Chain A
Amino acid sequence: MRRLFILALFVGFAGTLAGAHYLPWVSHERLSSQTSVIANGGRAESFVIRLPADRIETVALDGSASPAATFAAALGAQGPQLEHFKIRDRTGNVIGIATRHWAEAADGATTTWALVFPARGAIVLAHSGEARDAVEAALQDRGHTAGSQWDGEVTVALIDDAATTRSVVGLREFAGLDVRYTEAWNITGIDEQGEIRGTIELDTVSRRGG
């Protein structure tokens, strides 16, 4: 009986430690990657953001609830623009979180996208940033005025030449890939609060050697 107890004790001890080591304590829902192989090599994948549903709201930096309203005042019109979205694959399933920072520095403006896919990894992409408020300017050209509702269709190609973009880093599944992208905002309307309806499409092409 004593031997049985000691044997069981060993089994309990080893089993618990083995569980701590080998059990998959974290797993993320993995959907099939909607990729296709392109003719001259590489892998194409499109990501879609549906507005307004996929926009993740933040406290306005210069708003009354902001933790740094004085900071916003100091930055004035020179402040960076931060946007956050849920990001979908081509079939419309949410697969990750996208962060977009537009910022000016001494060498000009830069747009940086960080796309995080929990089951797959992350990629950071960058491009010489568009002019400040480029989307708003395009809408004004189509007759939209601030504070008013607008319906119509306009495509703003913020980046239409993928060769001008660069891949900053890829993690896990994206490690070692050179990822280039185009960015288009397809806008179908704006409500009185300035909320955009439409989609943002990021079309990427990945090749080995990033």
Chain B
Amino acid sequence: MKYVFATLAGILVGAAIAVAVLFYNPLTEVREASAEESWTLAYDFPGGSTLALTHAGQFGLPHIPADVGPLWEAAIANVVLNVLVLEDENGAPRALASRVSVPSQETDLLLQGFLVSEHWLITIPGQGTLFVDGENNLWPFIKESLIPVKYLQQDWHGPMRYPVTIGPRSNRSAEVIGVSGAFAGSRGSARETYDLRRFSAALGIEALRGTLEVTLEENAGADAVEAELAAEPNTPLAAASQ
């Protein structure tokens, strides 16, 4: 009997040490990196900037609008669709975005973290459309906010900042591909950051400010857009939307 107890105790202690290693594993941390010449598109989540938010219902997120159909079919049950109005650095609405988030099959809690593939289609009215393919690591958010607050009933020690993008580019940024207008043919990178401002056990994410830092490479049209987006809000579109 004591051998059985020693075996079980050993396995449990070993597993507990492994869980601690996973929690404090530096391999799954995401370090913040800043692009030098980038422009920023920002949004408030889950409300604020949202034109639509739908999923299968298992994420504790609201449905917006309330009567939007859930994504209940088996093949899309893990997907979150979020349609957003994105703001520029001055807080003026500048773009419309459709974001499809899919938990990644590359998720590896030891070496990578909990990965989510992010597919953004972003249209800046009058200027063109971009596609952004990103890989985000939500493990720091899960272990620092979700598990302690939601499942261990601890107080939340926020606000918290999570630079989440880790790929798929080798410099740990998302891939940006210009589709049309001034962006046609251009490529670039993007990094997303979550500023989690309010989080509770009952409601989960109550207030989050997300920012997408976009950098485009070698495209004259895109340079002009970057310059406009980086400028003070005195462009006709920005002024009209104030």
The chain A residues found within 8 Å of chain B, CB to CB, are: 1, 4-17, 20-21, 24-31, 56-59, 61, 65-68, 70-71, 73-75, 78-80, 82, 84, 86, 93-97, 99, 101, 103-107, 110, 112, 114, 116-119, 122, 124, 126, 168-169, 171
Contact = CB atoms under 8 A, between A and B. Distances in A.
B177 A124 contact: yes
Contact of A122 (B21, B74, B119, B181): B119
6 tightest Cβ-Cβ pairs between the two chains A and B: A8-B10, A12-B14, A105-B181, A16-B18, A74-B240, A12-B11
Interface residues of B, number: 76
16 contacts: A5-B6, A5-B7, A5-B9, A8-B8, A16-B19, A26-B104, A67-B49, A70-B93, A75-B125, A79-B125, A97-B71, A97-B81, A99-B100, A103-B123, A110-B128, A168-B179
B79 interface: yes
Given A21-B111, A57-B68, A101 B121 contact: yes
Interface stretch (B50-58, B143-151, B191-199, B206-214): B50-58
Given A15-B11, A16-B15, A97-B76, 18 more contacts: A4-B6, A5-B10, A21-B108, A24-B105, A26-B105, A56-B52, A57-B67, A59-B64, A78-B126, A94-B76, A96-B76, A101-B123, A103-B129, A103-B181, A106-B181, A122-B119, A168-B131, A169-B131
Interface of B: 2-3, 6-19, 21-22, 44, 47-52, 54, 64-65, 67-69, 71, 73-79, 81, 83, 85, 93, 96, 98, 100, 102-105, 107-111, 114, 119, 121, 123, 125-129, 131, 133, 177, 179-182, 184, 237, 240-242
Nearest to B93: A71
B51 A8 contact: no
Contacts of B49: 67-68
Contacts of B10: 4-12
B7 A4 contact: yes
B3 A9 contact: no
